[in-house]
Every structure is written in C-alpha cells, then in structure tokens.
Amino acid sequence: MATAKEDVLTKVSTDAATELVNSFYPALEKNRDAIASFYLPTPISILFNGNPVADGAAVQDIFINQMPAAHYEAQSFDCQIINRAYPTATAAGIRPPTEMTVKDMSILVMVSGYVRYGEDRDQPQRGFSENFVLVPNPSTARGHRRKDWLIQSQNFRLVV
C-alpha cells in the first residue's frame, strides 16, 4: 500500500467531519426519520449526558418520541485521525492492507455549540460538547444517499 501524504489524509478527514456536522445536526432538527442512517449497525458506544443508548435506531426513537423540537448551532468543530489503517469490512471480509485507500481510517470529530429545545425562539440556549468516532461505511451499496462515514461512537454532553 502506498502511503498517502499527510495533506491528503487531512483533507479526507476534514471533509468527513464537515459532512457530518452539515448533515447530522439538520437531521436532528428536521429529518429525524433519517437519524439511524448515520450510525454503524452495531456501534461501540453511544452516550447522551452519561446515559448509554443501544444503537442508532434507539437514538432515532428518542428524538422522534421523547425529544421536543430542537435547534442546534455548531459553533466549532475539529477532527483528528485516530487510525490511518482502520480494518474496513467488505463483502469478502476485512480489506487487506494492500487494497486500503485513504478512506480506510477512523476519525475523531469534536463539536461544540449551542442547542435550544422547544419551538419557542425565546427558549434559552444551552451549550453542548459532542465527540464522534467515524469509520468507513462498510456497505457496498451504491446510491445517491450513501454515506461514506458512519458513527461508531458518540458522546454528547450538555454544558452546565
């Protein structure tokens, strides 16, 4: 496997983080039926204010059935590559190192901002901090809405 240059890896990880922030938070606000599609089928860990959530479907259920309307405003985000050679699964098994691409990595995405719960614009904003671990989508399905990266782990905290 040819080693990708640092600038290429940085661009790929930054693009993945940008895509997550620009699509995940709008889904939490206006497209809650799509929330589960952001997650791996078997995520490692999802925590909301220290409370474990089973998977993306459970997150979606919480937002549809328990959460009031919300408006998220991501103020800043950053990312960092965790593993440059993440073992991506394919239909034939784990992709061998000789076939890895620059998208075969895991990425830590850190987001901070404000959230307002409720329809009323006069509701107070609360600060939040959130960390995600993104991994390549193992699905080989090709479609116009296929996500290249899925959430493997997530930790959301309201700032007190």
Domain boundaries, the chain: 6-158
Alpha helices by DSSP H, listed for 1-159, are 6-30, 56-65
pLDDT one-digit tens code per residue, 8-64: 999 999 999 999 999 999 999 999 999 999 999 887 899 999 999 999 999 999 999
**CB neighbour list of residue 50: distance below 8 Å, 6 or more residues apart:** 157
CATH of region 6-158:
3.10.450.50
Of 119, 22, 118, which is closest to residue 73 (Cα–Cα)? 22
Structure pTM?
Answer: 0.90
pLDDT one-digit tens code per residue, 90-149: 777 787 777 778 889 999 999 999 999 998 888 899 999 999 999 999 875 555 457 899
Cα(108)–Cα(153) distance, integer angstroms: 9
DSSP state of 142: -
Sign of CA dihedral 91, 14, 132, 145: negative
Strand ordering across the sheet containing 51-52? 51-52, 45-48, 149-158, 126-136, 106-117, 70-83
